[in-house]
Structure formats: structure tokens, C-alpha cells
Structure 1
């Protein structure tokens, strides 16, 4: 442990699984030694057996990737005809994309060579993540080599039961490119109880293990995400303190957000710029919020009736009792303002 601590305190990322953006948060909270020790135990360059089994049985998986313009995207892939993921050994796996349902942004020609994988078992809330290098892309099959593998707690995940449904094969043609959010998009965002966020880290000066794309889940009570025009603001709640997403945003200010309409199977994918807000008058009134993140959309895609799933109602995480909404925060703030004037 002392060896990892010395490297951390010297400001070096050599030998650490954390890059400088993640380490900046650890240093700010004075948890550098603790997190290096945790990482040495839980973040591995291979999939343990339970992760191999977990990924091999998923009906769908969330992917984070970077396009050729360095824009990060969060997407979901599935296979209604064959097995989605084949795990070959502890470091090699492949994804067989569905030939009917596809995300045109996710192609051999359009993305860079790393992918972040987020597997969530919707009924149990179990969650695991991978960072992987693309080693080959053959037809609809992506071959991957594991860079990092680790589990995440299910803290803010809403459980949902689901099943496949027969949607028309023409639905993949219903994708619409957007530059502005309309009222239907904003309505989806305002009522969301979860979304997915893609980010990335890249340092040309070295080949750090964290170089590449990442994807994570964010959950809360309906109303925990605010939208004004093309700007989206959401709280950051207490998590595993790895700070993968926030560390990436701190390093390059980019993010991709995706929202799901579980009732109709719509997908709203956005990419743009993000910044971390550490000081805001509303922070102390938003229950559970440690900081806010502002996201400014540059462009996106609306995919109507895209997901081939029928979803049940959300079973909300018990941890949401420790979180709030924008309506509650605004009301508490206004009440305080009124009382202070009396």
C-alpha cells in the first residue's frame, strides 16, 4: 500500500488505475491512499469468473464510445436472434450485434478503438463494468480485449421486469438527427428516473490504462434531472468514489447522455459539453447532492420505438429516500429566501 500511496502523493499516474482527473477528486477529498488500495483489490485487468458468467447471459448491454470527432455517445445493443455476448476467456469477449436493430453511429468506420461496457441486470439491479479495446470488427461481430473490469453497487438503480416484443424491422429507419431539444424530448428528460452517461479519457503523452471510453448509470427520483433549452443539469450523489465519469469530464469537458422512454421504447441520445458545478446556492437545498453537472447538447439523435422490449413499472431503489428533486430544492430555496426577508 505504501508503494501505491507514494505514487499517488507524487502526482504520478504511473502504476495506478486512476488517471489525473480521477486523482484530483481523490486528493480534494483526501482519500487518495484509500482509493488506491480499493482499486488494487477491485479493478482488474481481467474478468473474474462471476463477471464472465454475468456478461455472457445479458440480453442487452450499454456501450460508451467515441466517434471520429471525439464526441462521446451512450448506446444500447441487443440481439433478438442470437446470443449477444460470447465470453471466450477472462480477457477476451465478443459482441454480436443484431442485424435488424442497430445504431448507425456504432460502426467500424465511425468510432475509435475503445468501448466502455455497462451491464445491468434490470430485475436484480446487479451492475458490472468493462473497459475494452477493439481487436477486430468482422461483420456484425465486435471482438474485444479487456482493459479493466470492476463491479458497481446497485445504489440508485430502479428494478424493472421486461420481455422482448416484436417491433417492425423498419423501426431502425426512424432515427432523426436533432440540433435542438423539443418539448417531447424535454418531457422525457424531466420525468426520467435514470439515464446513461458516456465519457472518455485520453492522454497522447502516455498509454495509461484508463485511456478510452467509459459509460455509467445515473439514477434518482423522477424530477432529479432539469432541462432548460438545450442545457441539462443533474446532481451527483454519493457513489463508489472512483470518479470515473467526473474525472473524465474534468479532463476534457465532454459527455454523452442517453434517456429511455420505457413505455414506448424510444431512445434519446445526446452528445455535447459538460462542466462540474461545485458551488451553487441550490446545492444545500438539493437532498443528497454533492455537486451539480451541467450538460450542453451540441447534437443528438431521436430513435422512436427503437428498443425491442416491453418494460414493467419501475421498482424504485430504497436509496432514493436520501435524494431529492429540483422541485423540492427550488421550494426549499424559496422558503429560505422568504424567511430571511422577514
Structure 2
């Protein structure tokens, strides 16, 4: 019999899964891949794999429609496939299992075959054809493989459970024993269910699913009767999240690998797409929050015990809730200047020096996104305290910051000439809206000139990390312009990185190469970045573009990109200093106010009359005040000030969005009388 991939005209993914795939930006690609890897039968290697397992994980719903996850256990061979469209399981749930009475003919089930000692796993969803006292036969609707990520290696042994098992323990809340087991867990299983009215069962749109979740011990946080866990990068099918999107009811199973206890939880789950906790949890793409309605504990029922051999190496790059709580608390201190100690300074070129910084107050670093900047405050002799912003030139590592500063102006000269290892520097929390869209799967162009390379380095760390390939590799074109090798920072490191990553392509263009600069080694071409160069380098595609550098470079590069047909909303850019938008948006333009307004300063007790044409910062300075600022162009947020009363507008829309109740006074103009907390 000739068997192929997904043979149905309808998608292998139901509307809930499709909705999540669309939100994450992988819908079209996953649809194409899914039609190749999702099958309506079990390949021979899957059939052989299931036959060697001592247990399988099963998900189904009870008579009330509540999903539960459970384990079916037997000698290897108890799961066997007489033909590719059938899997026979010669086992039944243990007594008192929530699904003991649910595995009847016609019931939909999700099956996960997982071999902990090798980290192999395969999935199969189907419907029970026959059920008897010895087991069930499942007709296959979907079969596909899963990657070994996040699985802890364990070796198993058989034991004989007590002849008279302890009675089941049922409650509606988590007791101390349940909380202790969950807190110590590095593995659990989740069952979900989706039903689309009128859908034929053969399409797989009506059925149960069960999945594995793994993390460091403690990766599931408990808050009363609510659990929260990180959702890491997976295969982008989003079977579990897609089911939760359509039906929040779910069941969790926490097996105790040492005692054989089974802890079943029933409740409702929701996907958390944004927030400080998500941003702070390293490696998390989303969070899932689960509210417990029912708890069942069966003690010592499993005839298997497992010994931990090795935790998943991929978990080393993931965070933990203690670090998250600490980071979230620091977010509340975002506007406070905190001392950072210089760990080391590194000369990157004749004009650029990097400073590696670590908090000196033992409170830790605030998490940040690639592309953001660090506002700092420097005491310059003869000028006093001045504020500036410098892009963070490496992705967040949870321990340090790195800024790479070009010598140009009094503040940068002070840093280059005076700041040494061991010295202290005051800084606020990182901020900025010029950030990498980590959820996108589009190919990326990083296009920089001069010191504009600094935010691109942090983005590159996320896209092509120095430790090897990311979980979700994207094609990256890194195009950089410099005057010559003496002013080109990070050149050798970029070429090393390009050698490590097959999807990273690097092109360096020098406008005025020196005699010492070697074509093909130090740089790839001479001249300025223009449309001809970009056209020769870039295949036609739908790119995300990130652009940063001096004003003239930015304008030339921007219009070269637009001339190649790249949509304006795909080009993200940041100026170093003041700059008008590269392409005006007439719809966003707001007329400047033309009527004078009263301005009162709360802290100083003064007042003035704002005049048309001024910004509120200029009005405050004219009144003798010295508010904090840096860019004076709405880019950095350093001048964000609480607005106690009144309203303001922004005739030139700022790149930085102030928090509610605050005004970006460097570019804000009042539309009514206002009171500022100055």
C-alpha cells in the first residue's frame, strides 16, 4: 500500500491551532511543513517505537467533557500496531484514575509515546475503535514526530505496587503535598481537547491531545490555586495552545518518578502573550496560566520508577521564577539611577570603546530586548551631571550590560579618557522601542553605518548566538558600512560569527579603505551602501529590516531599500541624535498648538506661560529649571515627566512612548493649562 503525507484537502491544523500560528507569524510555513510531517497513519518507525515502550501518555475527556492526562503501563510490546492505521494498547488506567470509565468505543484520544532514556518521542491522535477489559484499539487520525527538546533523561525499573492501594485523595484545592510535588517537578503532561461542530472525525479537527512539558525544577510557579509556566520554542504546531485558544479546559498530570504517585489536576488554562514576567523569563516565548478546579492524587500506583540521568542541556539557557521576580521588581525602579561598576573596558577600534558594566547594588540587571539602549549619567568636569543614551551592544545575559561608545563630544570623551575598571557609573533601566521582533520568522536585514553597528550586535546575538544555532534559525544579512579598518569595530568577531552560522551572510563596505585594509578579508567592497549593492546581495523576499547609523547614511540606505520594493512598515530604524522621520506619515501629523498656555511646576513651585513654538522642556529651561534630557528628539525617554494636570500633544510624533500619566517634555506641547512634577 502506497502511503503519503497528509492526504486530506482540509488543513491538518484546526482553527484554534491556525489562530495561534497566525499570531506568531508562522502560519503559511507551518501549513506546508505540516502537510509533509503529519500523517493519517503510523510510519513503520513509529510503530516499532511504540512497541518498545513500557508506558504511553494518554489524554481524553471524561463524561463531563473535562480533559485528563494519564499513563498506561505494560511490558514492552503492550503497545503494538497490527497495521499502519491502528495502534493496540493492552493496558487500562489504574483504578480510580479519572479516565478509568472514559476509554470506550468512539472516544477520541491523544497519545504520546516518550522514551525518557533516549529523549525520543512521537505523537498519535485517534479514536477508540474497540475497548475491552484488556485494553483499547485506536484508529489513527494523526501521527507525527516530536523533537527531544526539554526532555530529562531517565532510566526506569519495574516495581510491584501495593496489593491494596491507598484510597484516592480528592479535593478542589492544592494542599501542601501537592504544592511540594509541583515545585520539585521538572516534567508534567497536559491534555487538551478541541471540537468543531460538524467537522468529520477523519480530519483530526475533533479530538484530544496530550503533550509533554519540561523545565528546570520549579519551572511551574504556584500562586494559591493558580499555576504558571513558561512556553518555550517548539515545533510551531501549537497543538496544546491551539486547543486552549478554542477550549480553555485542560488536565495536567504530574508523575512522581521516585514514589510512583500520580497527581492529576483539572482546570482552565489561558495563554499570556505579554507582560514584564514574560519579558524577564529567559527563553520563554509565552506563559501559560492554569487555574485548578479539581485535584486527584493516587499514591504509589505506578509499577515503574525512574532515576534521573541527565537534565536537558537546552534548559541551561532558560530562566527561573526567582530571577523573574527579581527582574520584575527592578522594573519598578526603571527611572531610578543605580550605580553600575565597570568590569572591563575593551578598545574595539580607534574611535569605539566597549564598557562592560555590572550593578553595584546587588539588585541585578533589568531584562531588556535586543536594540534597546541604556540611559547613563556622567559627571563631566566644568559641566556637571550630563545624561546620555548608549545602545546595548550585546543581548541580555542576566548578569551584565555592555555599551560601545564612539568618541564624539564631551561625555563620550570623559568615558574614553577617565572611566576605568572598578569605577562607578549611574544608569537607569534599559529602554527604547527600536527592538528586534523575536516572534517574526521573516528573514532579517541588519543594515548599519559606523557606530550604528551597536544595536545590531545585540540583535545578532539573538538571531545567531555565539554559542551555536538558535532554536529557530532565520536567514540574516548583516550589511555594514565603515570608513576604513581603523574605524571598523567588531570586524573580526563578525566574521567568526558568520563562519559559525550557515544562515548568516556578512558584507562590509569601506568608503575610504586604507592601504592596510585587505579586500576580501577586512572588507568586501568599496564605496557607499546604495541600491546597486543591496540589489546584488539580497534575493527577493519579505524582509524585516533594521537600520541604524549617521543621518546621511540612514537616508541614503532607507530610500535604497524603498526603491527595492521593501514596504515602509518593514523598515525599522533608529537615529543616533536628532533626526526627522525618514519618510513622513501625513496621517500621524498633529498641528502644533497656537494658543499660549499656563504651565505650573509642582516641585519647584514656579510657573510660566508656554508660548507657541516652544516645547515644554524649553519652557522649563527658560524658567531656570534643569530637567533631565538626552536626545531632545523624542527618541530616548530620558525627559519623561509626570503630568499632574492637563493634556499635551506631539506635533512631531516621538519614537519613544511615555507611560500613562507622563509627558515627553522634549517634544510635547500643551493643549490646555498643565502642571508638571518638576
Structure 1 Cα separation of the partners of residues 44 and 74 of structure 2: 23
Counterpart of 1:131 in structure 2 is: 125
1:56 maps to which of 51, 55, 65: 51
Which structure 2 residues correspond to residues 76-95 of structure 1 after superposition, within 5 A?
A: 76-79=71-74, 83-95=77-89
Q: Distance in 1 between the 2:213 and 2:113 partners? A: 14
Q: Which residue of 1 aligns with 2:248?
A: 253
Q: C-alpha displacement at 1:108, in angstroms?
A: 4.7
Q: 2:33 is paired with a residue of what secondary structure?
A: helix
Q: Against the structure 1 CA distance between its residues 25 and 331, is the aligned structure 2 distance closer, same or farther, given a 3 Å change threshold?
A: same
SS of 2:136's partner is strand
In structure 2, the partner of 1:159 is: 153
Task: Name the counterpart of 1:114.
Answer: 108
User: What CA distance in whole angstroms lies between the structure 2 residues aligned with 1:225 and 1:318?
Assistant: 18
After TM superposition, the structure 1 = structure 2 runs for residues 1-342 of structure 1, keeping only pairs within 5 Å, are 15-79=10-74, 83-97=77-91, 101-108=94-101, 113-171=107-165, 173-207=166-200, 208-338=203-333, 340-342=335-337
Residues 317-338 of structure 1: CA deviation (Å, up to 9, x unaligned): 1110121111111122223434
Shift of 1:205: 2.6
Partners of 1:178 and 1:239 in 2: CA distance: 33
Residue 98 of structure 1 deviates from its aligned partner by: 5.4
- Answer whether contact 2:199 2:205 (CA < 8 A) is retained: no
Return the offset for 1:309: 1.6
Higher RCO structure, 1 or 2 (CA under 8 Å, sep 6+): 1
Asked if the contact 1:274/1:294 (under 8 Å) is kept, the reply is: yes
Could you tell me how far apart the structure 2 residues matched to 1:205 and 1:175 are?
38
* Distance apart, 1:339 and its partner CA: 5.5
Question: How big is the shift at 1:289?
Answer: 1.0
**Which protein has the larger Cα radius of gyration, Structure 1 or Structure 2?**
2
Aligned-partner Cα distance in 2 for 1:335–1:192: 28
Contact 1:190/1:225 (CA < 8 Å) preserved in 2? yes
TM-score normalised per structure 2: 0.47
C-alpha displacement at 1:303, in angstroms? 0.8
Counterpart CA distance in 1 for 2:148 and 2:15 is 26
Helix, strand or coil at the partner of 1:50: helix
Tell me the CA shift for residue 223 of structure 1: 1.4
Tell me which residue corresponds to 1:7. Answer: none
Q: Report the CA distance shift for 1:23/1:258 in structure 2 as closer, same or farther (over 3 A).
A: same
1:78-132 per-position Cα deviation (integer Å, ceiling 9, x unaligned): 025x842121110012111158x44543245576611100011010000000001
Q: Provide the rounded CA distance (Å) in 2 between the counterparts of 1:308 and 1:340.
A: 56
Distance 1:133 1:91 in 2: 11
What count of residue pairs does the alignment treat as equivalent?
327
- In the alignment, the residues of structure 1 paired with residue 137 and residue 96 of structure 2 have an alpha-carbon distance, to the nearest angstrom, of 17
Q: Distance in 1 between matches of 2:248 and 2:131?
A: 29
- Where does the alignment leave 5 or more consecutive residues of structure 1 unmatched? 1-12
**Ranges in structure 2 where 5+ consecutive residues have no aligned partner:** 1-7, 338-678
Residue 109 to residue 125, structure 1, CA distance change in 2 (3 Å): closer
Q: Give the structure-1-normalised TM-score.
A: 0.91
